[in-house]
Amino acid sequence: MRVILRRIGFYILTAIVAVTVDFMIPRVIPGNPVNAVLAKSQGQTITPATVHALELQFGAHTSEGLWGQYTHYWSSIASGNLGISTSNGMVPVASVIRGALPWTLGLVGTATVLSFILGTLIGAVVAWRRGTWLDNLLPATTFFQAAPYFFLAFLAIDLFAVKLGWFPAERATSIGDFPAVNWNYISDVLDHAILPALTIVVASAAGWIVGMRNVMITTMDEDYVLLAQAKGLPKQRVIWYAARNAILPSISSFSLAIGFVVSGALLTEIVFSYPGLGSLLLNAVLDSDFPLLQGIFLVITMAVLLANLAADFVYVFLDPRTRQEA
Amino acid sequence: MSIGSGTQLGASQAGEPAALPVPDAPPVRSRRLRLPRSPKVLIGLGLLILFLLLAIIGPWVAPYNPSATLSTTTSFPQAPSAAHLLGTTQQQQDVLSQLLVGGRSTILVSFVAGLVATVLSVIVGVTAGYLSGLADDLLSMLANFFLIMPALPLLIVVFGFLPSSQGSDDVLIGLIIAITGWAWGARVLRAQTLSLRTRDYVQSARLIGERGWRIIGFEVLPNLVPIVASSFLFTVLYGVGTYTALAFLGLVNPNHVSWGGMLFYAQVADAEQAGYWWLFIPPGLAVALLGTSLALINFGIDEFINPRLRAAGLSRRRVRQITGAARATLAPGRFILGLTPVLRSAPADHPNMNGSRATGAARNARRASDGRPL
Residue with more model confidence, A323 or A95: A95
Listed ranges A252-266, B124-138, B228-242, B359-373; the one with the highest mean pLDDT: B228-242
User: Which residues are bridge partners to B332 per DSSP?
Assistant: B334
| Å between A55 CA and nearest CA of chain B | 19
**Exposure string over B270-305, b if 16+ CB within 10 A, otherwise e:** ebbeeebbbbbbbbbbbbbbbbbbbbbbbbbbbbbb
Q: Is the pLDDT of residue B343 over 70?
A: no
Whole-angstrom distance, CA of residue A325 vs CA of residue A3: 8
Q: Are residues B154 and A21, on separate chains, in Cβ contact within 8 Å?
A: yes
Q: Would the CB atoms of B141 and A13 count as touching at under 8 Å?
A: yes
Interface test with A, best of B110, B141, B142, B148 (most A CBs within 10 A): B148
* CB-CB neighbors (< 8 A) of A259 in chain B: 147-151
**What integer pLDDT is reported at residue B319 of this predicted model?**
56
With 50 as the cut, is the pLDDT of residue B332 above it?
Answer: no
Position B10 scores a pLDDT of 34
Helix ranges (H only) for chain A are 2-28, 33-40, 48-58, 66-78, 93-128, 137-146, 149-156, 183-219, 223-230, 235-252, 254-271, 277-286, 290-318, 320-324
The residue ranking higher by pLDDT, B373 or B190, is B190
Has residue B134 got a pLDDT over 80?
yes
Average pLDDT over residues A121-149: 79
B121 touches chain A (CB under 8 A): no
Cα–Cα distances (Å) from B121 to A49, B182, B298, in that order, read 48, 5, 17
Contacts of B22 (CB under 8 A, 6+ apart): B29, B30, B352, B353, B354
Q: From the CA of B149, how many Å to the nearest CA of chain A?
A: 6
Q: Do B332 and A131 touch (CB under 8 A)?
A: yes
Contact B263 A151 (CB under 8 A): yes
Is a pLDDT exceeding 70 seen at residue A196?
A: yes
Interface of B with A in 331-360 (CB under 8 A): 332-333, 335, 337-340
Instruction: Name the β-bridge partners of A91.
Output: A85
Q: How far apart are CA A128 and CA B370, in angstroms?
A: 20
**Contact (Cβ atoms closer than 8 angstroms) between residue A294 and residue A284:** no
Confidence of residue B346 (pLDDT cuts 50, 70, 90): very low
Closest chain B residue by Cα to residue A293: B157
Res A89: pLDDT: 66
Distances (CA, A) of A54 to A237, B64, B321: 62, 49, 73
Closest partner residue to B144 (CB to CB) among A10, A18, A282 is A10
pLDDT grade for B14, boundaries at 50, 70 and 90 = very low
Question: Is residue B66 within 8 angstroms of chain A, CB to CB?
Answer: no
Give residue B53's Cα distance to chain centre.
18
pLDDT of residue B115: 92
Quote the pLDDT of residue B351.
Answer: 42
pLDDT at res. B198: 80
* A chain contacts of residue B335, beta-carbon cutoff 8 Å: 235
pLDDT at A172: 64
Do the chains contact at A214 and B306, CB–CB below 8 Å? yes
Lowest mean pLDDT of A169-173, B97-101, B207-211, B320-324, name the range: B320-324
Residue A241 has pLDDT above 80, yes or no: yes
CB contact under 8 A, A131 and B263: no
Long-range contacts of A279-284 (CB under 8 A, 24+ apart): A279/A100, A280/A96, A280/A97, A280/A100, A281/B153, A281/B156, A282/B156, A282/B249, A283/A87, A284/A85, A284/A87
Exposure string of A173-204, with b = 16+ CB inside 10 Å and e = fewer, is: beeeeeeeeeeeeeebbeebbebbbbbbbbbb
> What does pTM read for this prediction?
0.78
Contact B148 A304 (CB under 8 A): yes
- Position A239 scores a pLDDT of 83
ipTM value for the complex? 0.80
B289 closest CA partner among B152, B103, B118? B103
| pLDDT score for B355 | 39
Cβ A286 vs Cβ A270: under 8 Å: no
Instruction: Please indicate whether, in this complex, the C-beta atoms of A148 and B160 are within 8 angstroms of each other.
Output: no
